[in-house]
Amino acid sequence: MNILVDSKMNDDSRRRELYRGSVFVYAPSPSALNLCQLARDLIEEAFQPFDPPTLNETLPAERCVEILAVLKPKFIHHPKSKEYIRGILAEFGCDLEKTYFDVPRLRTAFPGDYLKSGIAYAFHPHRDTWYSAPVCQINWWMPIYPLNPENCMAFHPRYWQQPVRNGSVQYNYDRWNRESRHSAAQHIKVDTRVQPKPEEPIEMDPQVRIVCNVGGVFLFSAAHLHSTVPNTSGETRYSIDFRTVHLDDVWAQSGAPNIDSACTGTTMRDYLRGTDLSHIPHEAVALYDDGALAHLN
């Protein structure tokens, strides 16, 4: 797995490299810092008087879930969130006429066993393509508070070309939206929602953990196997992620190899164009609507 730091590669070349399994890491940009500061302001307002990184020491988990159930949608739908994402895309050389993004999501990873389910789900090793994401999806990820190797996330590069037996055949994104997404806050100790997971042992090593500064951004393919690192740092990780697709790649049905995903449904209706926030053309969505992810490259 190649890691390219502050690459000057243009977006067309960068996407091709991402589809080959490389990861790009960038220093903070103005709009990324603005988005992180917006999230931080909302977090600190919601959890006051508690210190957000260490609130697990004093705030009951049930009360934390209640706060997150309000905080996370508030961040997603804040009028500045989409504005800052459009700024990030422009600063990183994306063509806003052809680049579509989904809403940004606020993620948390708490220390120990404080809270790992539902609205604070600690992700097992997975590929986003198991969750009905297209193979041309690119993930953008950034930390809101200082990050360290004990509370970040991990890539598992040996599985870029090695299939994993998994439960994606049971997953349909449209059904998930109807039946499971909105019940996240009900799963405090154990998450019983059906999600695609590995159905064979995963060798966690070798693994790659990337630590960047607040507002630093890294990009990776939706086909990468990655996981939430067990948080042994004593501090909660707060991060932001969103996803993009490029319309040329959508039409061409190009992207990273799909070696083991068999889910149905599609996330294509979630993406908004960088210029006017319009949705991907219906005819393009239809290319993915029949479970096209199930075909193997």
Parts of the chain with a pLDDT under 70:
116-123, 179-193, 290-297
The closest alpha carbon to 198, from 156, 166, 159, 157, belongs to 166
172 strand-pairing partners? 264
pLDDT for the residue numbered 178: 72
Measured from the Cβ of residue 44, the count of other Cβ atoms closer than 10 Å reads 13
What's the CATH code of the domain at 104? 2.60.120
Q: What's the rounded Cα separation, in Å, for the pair 113 and 95?
A: 42
| Burial group, residue 216, by CB count within 10 angstroms (0-12, 13-18, 19+) | buried
Number of independent structural domains in the chain: 1
CB distance 86 to 96 below 8 Å: yes
Tell me: the pLDDT tens digits for 169-209? 999 988 877 764 554 444 345 545 578 999 999 999 999 99
pLDDT for the residue numbered 187: 37
Q: What's the rounded Cα separation, in Å, for the pair 61 and 46?
A: 15
Q: What's the rounded Cα separation, in Å, for the pair 55 and 120?
A: 14
The closest alpha carbon to 256, from 177, 142, 123, 159, belongs to 159
Q: Domain of 242?
A: 3-294
- String of DSSP letters for the chain: --EEES----HHHHHHHHTTT-EEEE---HHHHHHHHHHHHHHHHHHTTS-GGGGGGTS-HHHHHHHHHHHHHHHHT-HHHHHHHHHHHHHTT--TTTEEEPPPEEEEE-STTS--SGGG--PPSB-GGGGT--TT-EEEEEESS---TTSSEEE-GGGGSS---BSGGG-BHHHHHHHTGGGGGG-SS---S----BSS-----S-EE----TT-EEEEETTS-EEEPP--SSS-EEEEEEEEEEHHHHHHT-SS--SS---BS-SGGG-EETTT-PBPPHHHHHTTTTTGGGS--
pLDDT for the residue numbered 179: 67
